[in-house]
A and B are shown apart, each in its own frame.
Chain A
Amino acid sequence: MSQANEPIIQIDNVHKRFQTLHGTVYALNGVSLNVMPGEVVVVVGPSGSGKSTMLRCINRLETIDAGSITVDGLPLRGARNINKVRAEVGMVFQSFNLFPHRNALDNIILAQRVVRHRRKREAVERAHDLLAKVGIPEKADAFPAQLSGGQQQRVAIARALAMDPKIMLFDEPTSALDPEMIKEVLDVMLDLAREGMTMVVVSHEMGFARAAADRAVFMDEGRIVEEDVPDVLFSTPSHDRTKLFLSKIL
């Protein structure tokens, strides 16, 4: 479908607004972003700047009001088989969102069986492999409530990876975690990045961004203000707003 020299995600002048009781909120105001296959993009920006909304638009958890998004060559607007697109795009949430009524193994197996129609043995094998990969092979039988936050987030990553996605979206995967758990999650993500996974990561972990990301993007008020190599963007930002924001979080 997509060639190596063609972006796997094309976001073109996307607008998104929410109708609320208190009026209209303009969450995205003409966002454009291209992500190449194998590229790791880190998105930073102040709260309410539309980072989550952009991610959620990429796998159409939100519909867009204007503009276009193309994922792996398929335009999302009016896509009939949106579930097929979603199966190719893994998403990891800030609040993990594991299925509490199923143990870690079953969390990873469920979608493989239901969406990918894999045979049971195949799905179980894959789940065990992934649990080993994220470093908690011994927690297969544990229920989400019995896991620490870091362990839960790693199961959530394994769950998304089990679908063999081409793209992984991370929405602040570590911001609900205690500091000592952040590292174990970031290590898993770093491994993924080294393996060549296309990733869009909303995160304020500068260390991770510098180590893994090919590009950093600064968003504010529903727009992409500037983008550059992480080292450059973080140390010598060209916009005042970026400077202000970075000075607050560093």
Chain B
Amino acid sequence: MSEQNPVPDDPAPEPPDVFTPSDDDIPPEGLYTRVILWAADLPWWAIILIISIVVVLYSMSTSIAYKNVTRWLTDDPQVKTDDLFDVVQVVGEPSMITGRFVGETGDSVNTVINELLESSIDSEIVTHTGFLVRETPATLTIATDDGGTVHLRKENITAEERTGSGGDIQITVNYVDRVTVTGTLVKQNDDMMRIRTVDEEIDSFDPARVISRTDNADGTITFERDGAVITGILSVLSNINITIKAGEDQTAEYRRDTLEWINVPTLTVAVNADANRRTIAPGDTVRVAFLQGTDIIEALDQLDSLDNVPVPLRYTDGSAQVSLLPYPDLETALAAVGAGEADGLVYLDAGPDRLAVAEWVEANPDAGVVMPDDPRECNKDCEVSFKRLDDTITGVILEEDADTITLQLVAPEYIEIDKNKIVENKRMEPGVCALNNLRGCNEGIFLTLRVTFQAYALALVIGLVVGLMRVQTNPTTIFSKWMNTVLQTISTLYVEIVRGIPLLVILLYAGFVISPRLRDIFGLNLSDEQEAVIGLAFGYGAFIAEIFRAGIQSIGRGQMEAARSLGMSYPQAMRYVILPQAVRVVLPPLGNDFIALLKDSALISVLALPDLLQLGRLYVSRTFRAFEGYNTVAIMYLMMTLFLSMMVRIIERRTRLPE
């Protein structure tokens, strides 16, 4: 008779244990020997892998380029931040007023409520005392002792007590005055929140610019400064303002009367007075003078874009021969033009000398040089510089040394609110990404990890439910037989359809088909991230369902029968007997799927999400450092997956049943 074993055979036989010297037969060794022994026992591919990882990580950690791309891919985490959350909180402070009820009027409730909203938002938490004047269905108006009136919304009143009658009612109410606090949460504990309501402003500048300094009575210092020189790309130049591009899509506007000087590249053309009247035939030679060291190519380009080119220069780019004549300075160049040595001068300057030609021509009317056109200022997309007039600045000195003075212009302001007094939490969004505020880290590797974990959790739920639906039960009634068929059909359809469609297509469906429909029909607004999570989970749910089904079916029928014969219901038997055993069977394939999901999460970049891959591509397209960019992306994925497969092994080992 052979012994029948009810334990399902372990699907993954334990791999031969890594060599561990046991205390019995080997004398104790030093750490060094043990490490060598351990290393010697590793397979060759593991040694190569470890060495190359060490080499790669070392060279990456010492390279500035890799440092930059790593920062970029990890959402530029700060070490520490105060900006924990951006918050808007409504705080209610119960306070009490006493007064006299004067009478009732049919005043419009709406106007009173509007007035109330205005006065309560951004107001301080105050206590009023006074007399009650008016009552409407929604509000009370009370004449306070100090002669003013307050309007209270009845919903804010927590208790009220009236004495007297007729037109002379004394009233005492407790009410909640609401204050909206907007700011950045910098600290919180169980009962307090510290919110920065005013951001600090700091300016630092070169001590060389200081003209005078005055100490003020309030401890601040006022500097009179020499205006700063500002350089930028011109976007609008008018008689009143100059607008330059300051950032990628930001502009800064300055009034021209606050500027000491302004240098805009200016093109000046001067020609020989005789040549100006001559017509130029094809084949003629046009001699164009220019100053050595100026950018004649740029100047000619600009000349080309003029509509009204002076006659001798008109053919420079056409069929006439052009000869370019460099001159060392303006004086000789203009003299040469006047003497007919050159037909004309093309002069482009962005510096203070930009009007020098015009001045010379004006000063030497008889030199035989004329200016057919006024000097033309560039009016868009060229580099300009200007200097602001002297300015003053007042603040508290934070730091002062030979190179910089740093002033605090606006000190940060904080408000501490009692958590119990918060009546409404209007907004709470994670602030800056930092080691002490990982909630604020939303991009790159963090997004990849978060989407993966969320999608996997959801996929596990879907997989378990669908997997259970697919398992054949032993139906006892007509109804349960019918239910069984319906559930099995649904789950089989789901698994077959989803497994047959590329995950990328499912993601695009989630993002561009399902989500807009949900918005239109149910008004449900899904964020891009939620779409990605749902798409990934839906796609992986099918695979996980199959894993669960196989796992459950690998547990012998006898287990279910034994559980049922003890009086357990089907769900109880599943929960306590079948699933705990099935989980051990499905753990390795589930771990593999998790790693696969982590890698497939790279597909979510099609939904314009800044995940690891997407950020890597952005970095490469900006810096053209494809080598460093994609290397780092690959290494990061690799480190995550290696870590995960290690975790999966450990969990597998931990949950193994004793033999």
Cβ contacts under 8 Å, B580 to chain A: 101
Main SS class of interface, B: loop
Q: What band does the interface of chain B fall in when counting residues whose beta carbon is under 8 Å from A?
A: 20 to 34
Asked whether B566 lies within 8 Å of A100 as measured between CB atoms, the reply is no
What total of A-B pairs shows CB separation below 8 Å?
97
- How many residues of chain A are within 8 Å of chain B by beta carbon? 40
Stretch at the interface among B1-9, B391-399, B587-595: B1-9
Asked whether A114 lies within 8 Å of B572 as measured between CB atoms, the reply is yes
Asked whether A145 lies within 8 Å of B559 as measured between CB atoms, the reply is no
Give Cα distance in the complex from A91 to B577, angstroms. 17
A94 close to B (CB within 8 Å): yes
Instruction: Please tell me which one of the listed residues A60, A111, A146, A149 contacts residue B566 in the complex, with CB atoms under 8 A apart.
Output: A111
Asked whether B566 lies within 8 Å of A159 as measured between CB atoms, the reply is yes
Residue of A nearest to B559 (CB): A97
B20 close to A (CB within 8 Å): no
Asked whether A111 lies within 8 Å of B568 as measured between CB atoms, the reply is yes
The smallest beta-carbon distance between A56 and chain B, in angstroms, is 8
Which residues of chain A in 65-111 are interfacial with respect to chain B, using CB atoms and an 8 Å cutoff? Answer: 82-84, 86-87, 89-91, 93-101, 110-111
Contact of A160 with B566 at beta-carbon distance under 8 Å, contacts A100-B657, A146-B658 already known: yes
Asked whether B6 lies within 8 Å of A115 as measured between CB atoms, the reply is no
The smallest beta-carbon distance between B172 and chain A, in angstroms, is 56
A63 close to B (CB within 8 Å): yes
B448 close to A (CB within 8 Å): no
Contact of A145 with B558 at beta-carbon distance under 8 Å, contacts A63-B476, A114-B576 already known: no
Cβ contacts under 8 Å, B5 to chain A: 145
Contact of A91 with B565 at beta-carbon distance under 8 Å, contacts A100-B7, A145-B7 already known: yes
Asked whether A97 lies within 8 Å of B658 as measured between CB atoms, the reply is no
Cβ contacts under 8 Å, A111 to chain B: 563, 566-568
A176 close to B (CB within 8 Å): yes
B564 close to A (CB within 8 Å): yes
Residue of B nearest to A83 (CB): B567
Contact of A100 with B6 at beta-carbon distance under 8 Å, contacts A91-B565, A114-B572, A114-B576 already known: yes
B561 close to A (CB within 8 Å): yes
Asked whether A101 lies within 8 Å of B584 as measured between CB atoms, the reply is yes
Which residues of chain B in 384-442 are interfacial with respect to chain A, using CB atoms and an 8 Å cutoff? Answer: none
The smallest beta-carbon distance between A99 and chain B, in angstroms, is 6
Contact of A145 with B658 at beta-carbon distance under 8 Å, contacts A95-B6, A175-B1 already known: yes
Give Cα distance in the complex from A179 to B1, angstroms. 9
Cβ contacts under 8 Å, A10 to chain B: none
Asked whether A144 lies within 8 Å of B566 as measured between CB atoms, the reply is no
Cβ contacts under 8 Å, A159 to chain B: 566
Cβ contacts under 8 Å, A6 to chain B: none
The smallest beta-carbon distance between A102 and chain B, in angstroms, is 8
Asked whether B657 lies within 8 Å of A143 as measured between CB atoms, the reply is yes
A211 close to B (CB within 8 Å): no
Cβ contacts under 8 Å, A190 to chain B: none
A61 close to B (CB within 8 Å): yes
Contact with B along A160-196 (1 / 0, CB 8 A): 1001000000000001111100000000000000000
Instruction: Please tell me which one of the listed residues A86, A101, A144 contacts residue B564 in the complex, with CB atoms under 8 A apart.
Output: A86
Asked whether B558 lies within 8 Å of A86 as measured between CB atoms, the reply is no
Cβ contacts under 8 Å, B572 to chain A: 114-115
Cβ contacts under 8 Å, A49 to chain B: none
Give Cα distance in the complex from A79 to B569, angstroms. 14
Give Cα distance in the complex from A82 to B581, angstroms. 25
Cβ contacts under 8 Å, B2 to chain A: 176
A198 close to B (CB within 8 Å): no
Question: Beyond A96-B4, A98-B562: 15 further Cβ-contacts under 8 Å?
Answer: A60-B476, A83-B564, A86-B565, A87-B567, A90-B566, A94-B4, A95-B4, A99-B577, A100-B8, A111-B563, A111-B567, A115-B566, A115-B567, A160-B565, A179-B1
Chain B residues near A (Cβ < 8 Å):
1-8, 476, 556, 558-559, 561-569, 572, 576-577, 580-581, 584, 657-659
Question: 17 A–B contact pairs at CB < 8 A?
Answer: A84-B567, A86-B564, A87-B567, A100-B7, A101-B580, A101-B657, A110-B576, A110-B577, A111-B566, A145-B5, A145-B7, A149-B3, A156-B562, A159-B566, A163-B567, A176-B1, A176-B4
